[in-house]
Chains A and B, each alone.
Chain A
Amino acid sequence: MKVGVLFSGGKDSTYAAYLAKKEDYEITCLISLISKNKNSYMFHTPSIEKVEKQGEVMHIPVLLIKTKGEKEKELKDLEKAMVVAKKRYKIEGIVTGAVESIYQASRIQKICNKLHLECFNPLWQKNQFELLNDLIKNKFEVIITGVFAYPLDKKWLGRKIDENFIKDIERLHKKYKINSAGEGGEYESFVLNCPIFKKGLKVKNYKDFGEKNSWRREVEIE
């Protein structure tokens, strides 16, 4: 089956794409919504323009759609993107990286249903620590590009998701109830390399923006 992956460039959507490929689905496009609203309810925002680089190393075209990111209106933009993907890339299904959010998942389900597309959520209800450990086990190279919750701060930007990261986030999970996988928007990530990339990406340059416990890293990729 030809599928499009709703792709942010972060660990969840990339891992979902990896599972789709592993199960022999043909990924004919990556669909990325660039939201002007950095606090979008639906879409991951940091470093999203860099998904084109990720598409290049996966040899998969990226469908980039701009959205103002206004609540509910952004769903119309998502629907338009799916209509284009269905026509242009002949997709029969959508793959998402939804883990826990019924708000996010149910809205995508409704759009897929309306457009007669299958909806795949292969990370649905996956244990937060299992997800992080699976990334390491499957040789995903992932960095943190945004933090948005106390006590995460600027020092976390650029950190790789490795065993030390898991230990530290587990400690914060126990003390502050932080979702270890960042599902509550506590942090956001960017994938530099993984088994479905033909070659790895490198951070050439970066700029950090923010204050206190809300920081974003804009990375330049090569």
Chain B
Amino acid sequence: MILLINICKERLHFYEFVKPILDILKDNNIDFFVKHYKELEKKDLDKAEKIIICGTSLKDIDYFEHYHNFDWLLDYDKPVLGICGGMQIICMVFEDKLKTLRKAGKGIFSKKTEVGFIKLNFEREFLGLIGEKEVYALHNYYVKNINKEFFILSKDPIPQAVKHKEKSIYGVLFHPEARNKDMIRNFAKL
């Protein structure tokens, strides 16, 4: 059972950023359930075998103010994949473990807009992606300091794909639900 976490503030974004992922799981007969991050309960995290934190639009960045809602990630042992905003959340939570940046209020992410196809090089295998790959980017921000607990698997030069060194926590800044759908299938099969 995969839990899809919706981080969209705007309801209409569900169709663009959650439904395509849900469709990939449905087409592969993989069970799932969807919760918005503001309605997430401990029982949802317990029920899930894996979690995908879906992305959202360039302007829909309400989650920046609420990434502490995801502090449970620090102690979570099941596989997690963060997509775009989801990767930013993962990186923010781990980078701000001591909550000092939160107190400072900012300084955790930087602006870099990338929209459309970009080419990335995966030096090591990452959920089935290896070598040069074309991916679909749609973001205004990235997390500039990646915590040392993570490997950075692709840079362009900003971190585009990360994996926790010990846990099965993955993050991608691009959108595999639009191109490279196999990556989501590979995560679901972990």
Contact = CB atoms under 8 A, between A and B. Distances in A.
B12 A95 contact: yes
Interface string A86-114: 00000001010000001000100110110
B31 interface: no
Contacts of A23: 11-12
Contacts of B11: 23-24
Interface residues of B, number: 23
A197 interface: no
Contacts of B16: 120-122, 124-125
B119 interface: no
Given A102-B136, A124-B178, A109 B115 contact: yes
A125 B117 CA distance: 16
Interface stretch (B54-62, B71-79, B120-128): B54-62
Nearest to A118: B59
Contact of A113 (B19, B20, B23, B58): B58
A11 to B, nearest CB: 16
Contacts of A109: 58, 115, 138
B59 A113 contact: yes
Interface in B93-126: 113, 115-117
Interface of chain B, main secondary structure = mixed
A110 B115 contact: yes
A122 B12 contact: yes
A19 interface: yes
Interface string A120-163: 11111111001000000000000000000000000000000000
A97 B19 CA distance: 15
Contacts of B19: 125-126
A106 B116 contact: yes
Interface residues of A, number: 27
A63 to B, nearest CB: 20
A132 to B, nearest CB: 15
A113 B113 contact: yes
Given A25-B12, A102-B117, A121-B16, A116 B59 contact: yes
A118 B60 contact: yes
B4 to A, nearest CB: 14
A203 interface: no
Contacts of A130: 23
A119 interface: yes
Contacts of A117: 59
A145 to B, nearest CB: 26
B13 A120 contact: yes
Contacts of A127: 23
A20 B12 contact: yes
Interface in A3-56: 19-20, 23-25
B16 to A, nearest CB: 4
B145 interface: no
Nearest to B20: A125
Nearest to A92: B59
A120 B10 contact: yes
A113 B178 contact: no
B179 interface: yes
Nearest to A98: B16
Interface of B: 10-13, 15-16, 19-20, 23, 57-60, 113, 115-117, 136, 138, 140, 177-179
Interface of A: 1, 19-20, 23-25, 93, 95, 102, 106, 109-110, 112-113, 116-127, 130
20 contacts: A1-B10, A93-B10, A102-B136, A102-B178, A106-B115, A109-B115, A112-B58, A113-B58, A113-B59, A118-B57, A118-B60, A119-B57, A120-B10, A120-B12, A122-B15, A122-B16, A124-B15, A125-B19, A125-B20, A125-B178
